[in-house]
Amino acid sequence: MIAPTDAPAIASVETRPITIPLSRPWGPDVTDVRVIEVTVTDADGAVGHGFSWTPSIGGTAVQALIDTDLAPFALGRPAAPAWWDDAWRHLHEAGAGGVTTIALAGLDLALWDLVARRAGGGIPSLLGRRHESLAAYGSGVNLHYPLDDLVAQARRWVDAGFGGVKVKVGKPDLAEDVDRIAAVRDVIGPDRDLMVDANQRWRLDRAVAAADAFAPLRIAWLEEPLRADDLAGHIALRRETGVRIAVGENLHTEYRFREFLDADAAQVLQPNIVRVGGITPALRIARAVQEGGAELAFHLLPELSAPLALCLDTATRIEVVEDALFADLDALAEPTGLVVGDGRIAGGTAPGVGIRFR
C-alpha cells in the first residue's frame, strides 16, 4: 500500500446522491436504498470512488455531513486511508457512530479505491488474497411475506445451492413464527444451517421464550433478538437459554464490538462495512472478532464485504440477500468481478473497491 507520506494531497471531494429502487421491497417503508457516491481526486489527478449507504432514510443527512464537515477536513490531507481516526475524532461530537461513521465510510472507501487503482488491482490483490471463494448463505427481508412466498423463497435458496438460509421472525404471535420457521426447515432439510433474525423486536422475556420455542428446529443463530445496545440483556439471554446470539449490524464502532466480545454476549458478530465507517475500521473489527474466537459474518453489501473477506486469515460466510445485489438492481456502471454460484462467492477482480455506480 502507498505510504501516507508518499501520497499526493486530496484536491477535491465531491458527492452525488443516488436512489436505487428495490425490486423486492423490504417492507412498506423500505422500498429503496440511498447511496451517496463520494469521489476523491488527488493533486496528481488520480480519482477514487466510494459510497455511503442507508436503506430509505438518512441519505440527505449523510451527504450534508460529508459536504459541510468531512470534505473540508479532508482537503490537503494525504490521499490514502491512514487518517481515519483523525476524521472520526473530528466528527464524533455529532455522534460516535451512526450518521458520522456512515459518512466516514464514503470517504474511506474512496481512498481505498484510489490506492488500489494506483497499485493496479483490486482490494484482494492490495491486501493479499487468502481464499479463492467463500461460502454464502441466502438471506431475506421477508417478515411481511405470506407463508407460501416464504416457502417459495426457501426453495429458491436450496435450488441455488446455499448451505444456509436466514429468515425474519417477530410476528405478534410466537406460534406463527414457529410455524413459519418449521416450514422453512422442512424445505431446506436437516443439513443446512437455519438462522433467524428478529431485528431488535423483543424484550428479554419474549426472546427467552422464542429461543426455547425454536430449539427443536436447530437454529444456527438468533440475530438481534434485543435492542442492539442492550449488552446486559444479551448476556442474560445467553445465560438463560444458551442460544447462539448474533449482533453487529447496528453496532457502529470497534469499541462496541469489543464490549460484546469481551462479555461473550454474542457468538456471531456482523459488522456492516459502511455503518462502521469503511474498510479501515472493518478490518480492525474483523481481526478482533476472529482472534477473539467468535464467528465473523459481515452484514449485507456482499459486493463490498466479499473482496475484504477473501483477504482474511479465517474464512467467513457471506450474506447474499435475494434481489439486493447492486448488480441485480442494475445500479452498477461496470461489473464487480464477483460471481455467486453453487452457494459460494468468488472473484473480486475489478479495479479498486470494485463498485462504480451508473
Shortest CA distance to 50 belongs to which of 83, 90, 81?
A: 81
Cα separation, 38 vs 15, whole angstroms: 5
Cα separation, 328 vs 323, whole angstroms: 6
Shortest CA distance to 303 belongs to which of 122, 84, 81?
A: 122
- Report whether 162 contacts 156 (CB < 8 A): no
> Out of 131, 166, 234, 299, which one is annotated catalytic?
299
Active site residue 168: yes
Question: What's the distance, Cα to Cα, between the start and end of the chain in Å?
Answer: 28
Residue type for 266, please? Answer: A
Cα separation, 101 vs 123, whole angstroms: 21
Q: 3-state DSSP call for residue 319?
A: strand
> Out of 49, 168, 234, 252, which one is annotated catalytic?
168
Cite the DSSP H helix spans in 75-230. Answer: 84-91, 99-118, 123-127, 147-159, 174-188, 204-214
Cα separation, 299 vs 268, whole angstroms: 11
| Residue matched to cell numbers 407463508 | 147
> What interhelical angle do 84-91 and 99-118 show, nearest 10?
160
Residue 68: DSSP 8-state: I
Active site residue 166: no
Active site amino acids: 168, 299
